[in-house]
Structure 1
Amino acid sequence: MPKLSIRDLDLKNKHVLIRVDFNVPLSEDGSEITDDTRIRETLPTIRYALEHKAKLILASHLGRPKGKPNGKYSLRPVVDRLRLLLDHSIGEKINVAFAPDCVGEIAEELSRQLESGQVLLLENLRFHPEEEANDPAFAKKLASLCEIYVNDAFGTAHRAHASTEGITHHVKQAAAGLLMEKELNYLGRALGLGDSATVPAKPFISILGGAKVSDKIGVIENLLGKVDALLIGGGMAYTFLKAKGQNIGKSLVEADKVELAGEMLRKAEAKGVRFLLPTDHVLADRFAPDAATQIFSGTGDFPAEWMALDIGPETVKTFAAEIAGASTIVWNGPMGVFELPKFAAGTTAVAHAVADNKGAVTVVGGGDSVAAVQQAGVASEISHISTGGGASLEFLEGKKLPGVEALTEKS
């Protein structure tokens, strides 16, 4: 059953607490925001609430302050950036106040003083250990600030914290924000969740990369019954190649997962899912920006002292052809060590191939994959870029997300 949306609520003159994800990267001294993407992504929800005359309270975490106040992780720098973005987005000056704590007398008083169309940002939730412990008393204090709760922080929805799960037990209505809705709609559509209208268009392929097979086992298990093909790159590919009997030199391998990788290959074959592994590789003599490189192809033994750090041009062509013919594409994880220019070609080529398929529904999740499409300059051509790395991964695994499950169901 679908969850209640902010669109379903009467917000006028109500105190509305929105759990946002303002966990933005800051400069070394914590004084400047270096990337405000997460703030921008939740602007539609904030704007909607303000246009509907809510008295708006925003709550977020930032970094890992380990349950105590730490100026390095203060949300104070977010106030000016949020005010600037809201002014630009709405076209008028918006009053954004800041509470030096997320609970307690000052937060309560500032909340009471709010007028319709005003915003109050609370200090970092994780300055209190009770937040991550999902302490009921702390959750109740947060709930006392509002009449309506909205969760727009998909990136934290896989955590049962006081501000994502506990608070919902102390409010009458707990709804999804517009960003949360968008995340659930795109990821749900890709996985065929909901009614028949959400069944993903075929062919459906998933591109999986990153360092470790262990990080993606659950995703592969869940997707095997849904996709037509899996395209595997990154360090995880070499555990699969090892399982197929190939000597992979000094390439990354999870020795304790080789048997499991072999089992996954057999399952894919039994289900008729094409399991595409790299057929050529960019090898390096060491892990370094100035390493010597060579292209190696075929199923023979890698040179003993060399390691694979990217997929090769032959694999790029094969993957690009699969991507061009797909109608639904889910991508999580880079194809190589794309942070180093020498080993970025495979990931960049895949990013362009995904962006070039204009007729497909394309969903990109995971921090590295998102960084890759941004680095390739094609982010605007992707149907949906997920803001939640861990949350999108767990969703793809088929796991229930506590922050989503706790929201009120539509009657």
Structure 2
Amino acid sequence: MTAFRTLDDIGDVAGKRALVRVDLNVPMADGAVTDDTRLRAHVPTITELSDAGAKVLLLAHFGRPKGEYKPEFSLRPVVPALADVLGRDVKFMERPSGEAIADLADGSVVVIENTRYAPGEEKNDPGMAKVIAGFGDLYVNDAFSVSHRAHMSTEGLTHHLPSFAGRAMEAELKALEAALGNPEHPVAAVVGGAKVSTKLAVLEHLVTKVDHLIIGGGMANTFLAARGVDVGKSLCEHDLTDTAVAILEAADRAECTVHLPYDVVVAKEFAANPPTRTVNVHDVAADEMILDIGPAAVEALADVLKTCRTVVWNGPLGAFETPPFDAATVALAQTAAALTREGSLVSVAGGGDTVAALNHAGASEDFTFISTAGGAFLEWMEGKELPGVKALHQSA
């Protein structure tokens, strides 16, 4: 991996103006933050800079105002929640000005209003980048989750200021490097979710990088159908069976073993706790749907993980939000967590459904690293170069 500079490389920041890109795009209800996970992720970076005497100017977006001022997309309501997690005062600035920033005390933390109110943000306008850079002495990107966007606040600023990765970004990049960049083999990838179509590029990339590809969720049905299995009325993209065959053939060429379930849990309706059967994949009735991987397949997959040194996980194995179709995800996640605890496995996971599934399984605390990024994590799994990350490498 190309080197990037971190907070360790900044030197003395007392009195300096640090423009810090963070992710404050948090869920809200009735004007209050309902989940502060993203805010807490930035505490180490903000605290370290503030304690060292920098004026910390936070750049972030909220929602999609599309270059217009819309009051419902203001970052102002996020400020009290950020102040709570930081345990210090946080100011709010509608428009940055040199005079207002000069008046700030060293160590101040300021949230600047939604960057996406300006059309130049999403267009990565060089003129806007030059203006905003004029308010800072250095730039820190601490928001991996938005680094798949070539925006002014993720990419443009790096052309004008000394640029560094914040602590959250640094942890993310190191974890991803350990998972797929330069991992310890054997490597397994667990990929679940409803549709193959949303993860085609991920699957095509992974078969060239990992030793074992474990496919679950609705997308496993498409692969089973491609192998001639009648999946009944299961969720299945029958129009993509040729694509599934091509991925299986590519895996063979790359000597990557693809694991599909051979026993499954089926039901005639998708509802909580309906009558279910556990059957061989070849015994699914025409009026049944596959909603989870069966226990024998889970046991076999657990044995696969026990032979591996690294696992990267994206997506649940079944319809985990609806019991009892969470059983396979919970069981395999707990196996991965136990192997990580004992030091034999590096486990990295990411994506919204994945985080929820691992939390549900009680496995999150023991995984080596869990990314809260959605689109950026998927694009990384596709092998794409992320503009915000590339910019940090180039600036180094």
Q: TM-score surpassing 0.5?
A: yes
Query: 2:263, 2:280 within 8 Å by CA — same for their partners in 1?
Result: yes
- The separation in 2 between residues aligned to 1:410 and 1:145, in whole angstroms, is 19
Is it true that 1:155 corresponds to 2:148 in the alignment? no
Question: Which residue pairs with 2:375 in the alignment?
Answer: 390
- The separation in 2 between residues aligned to 1:172 and 1:100, in whole angstroms, is 22
Partner SS for 1:183? helix
Question: Which residue pairs with 2:308 in the alignment?
Answer: 326
Question: Which residue pairs with 1:264 in the alignment?
Answer: 247
Partner SS for 1:354? helix
Is it true that 1:100 corresponds to 2:83 in the alignment? no
- The separation in 2 between residues aligned to 1:180 and 1:154, in whole angstroms, is 6
Residue identity matched to 1:9: I
> In the TM superposition, what is the alpha-carbon distance from 1:259 to its structure 2 partner?
0.4
Question: Which residue pairs with 1:6 in the alignment?
Answer: 7
Query: 1:15, 1:146 within 8 Å by CA — same for their partners in 2?
Result: yes
Give the TM-score normalised by the residue count of structure 2.
0.93
Q: How does 1:151-190 map to 2 (within 5 A)?
A: 151-169=141-159, 171-190=160-179
Query: 1:210, 1:236 within 8 Å by CA — same for their partners in 2?
Result: yes
- The separation in 2 between residues aligned to 1:189 and 1:371, in whole angstroms, is 23
Partner SS for 1:205? strand
Going from structure 1 to structure 2, the CA distance change for 1:400 and 1:310 (only over 3 Å counts) comes to same
Give the TM-score normalised by the residue count of structure 1.
0.90
Deviation track 1:290-321 (CA, whole Å, cap 9, x = no partner) reads 54432221434x21122112112122111122
Deviates more, 1:336-345 or 1:383-392: 336-345
Residue identity matched to 2:296: E
**Corresponding pairs, count:** 391
> In the TM superposition, what is the alpha-carbon distance from 1:402 to its structure 2 partner?
0.3
Deviation track 1:30-64 (CA, whole Å, cap 9, x = no partner) reads x1111101111111111111122111100111222
Residue identity matched to 1:97: K
Query: 1:15, 1:54 within 8 Å by CA — same for their partners in 2?
Result: yes
- The separation in 1 between residues aligned to 2:148 and 2:105, in whole angstroms, is 33
Query: 2:273, 2:323 within 8 Å by CA — same for their partners in 1?
Result: no
Question: Which residue pairs with 1:303 in the alignment?
Answer: 285
Q: Which runs of 5+ in 1 are unaligned?
A: 88-93, 193-198
> In the TM superposition, what is the alpha-carbon distance from 1:153 to its structure 2 partner?
0.4
Partner SS for 1:375? helix
Question: Which residue pairs with 1:69 in the alignment?
Answer: 69
Deviation track 1:36-95 (CA, whole Å, cap 9, x = no partner) reads 0111111111111112211110011122233333333322222112212222xxxxxx33
Residue identity matched to 2:329: T
Deviation track 1:321-365 (CA, whole Å, cap 9, x = no partner) reads 212332111001111111112321121112211111122111011
Is it true that 1:249 corresponds to 2:232 in the alignment? yes
Going from structure 1 to structure 2, the CA distance change for 1:111 and 1:292 (only over 3 Å counts) comes to farther
RMSD between aligned alpha carbons?
A: 1.8
Question: Which residue pairs with 2:19 in the alignment?
Answer: 17
Question: Which residue pairs with 1:200 in the alignment?
Answer: 183
Q: Which runs of 5+ in 2 are unaligned?
A: none
Deviation track 1:115-139 (CA, whole Å, cap 9, x = no partner) reads 2111110122222333222222332
Is it true that 1:122 corresponds to 2:75 in the alignment? no
Residue identity matched to 2:366: E
Query: 1:364, 1:385 within 8 Å by CA — same for their partners in 2?
Result: yes
Question: Which residue pairs with 2:55 in the alignment?
Answer: 55
> In the TM superposition, what is the alpha-carbon distance from 1:399 to its structure 2 partner?
0.7
Question: Which residue pairs with 2:81 in the alignment?
Answer: 81
Residue identity matched to 2:40: R
Identity of matched residues, %: 46
Question: Which residue pairs with 2:322 in the alignment?
Answer: 340
> In the TM superposition, what is the alpha-carbon distance from 1:410 to its structure 2 partner?
6.9
Is it true that 1:351 corresponds to 2:333 in the alignment? yes
Going from structure 1 to structure 2, the CA distance change for 1:209 and 1:174 (only over 3 Å counts) comes to same
Partner SS for 1:341? coil
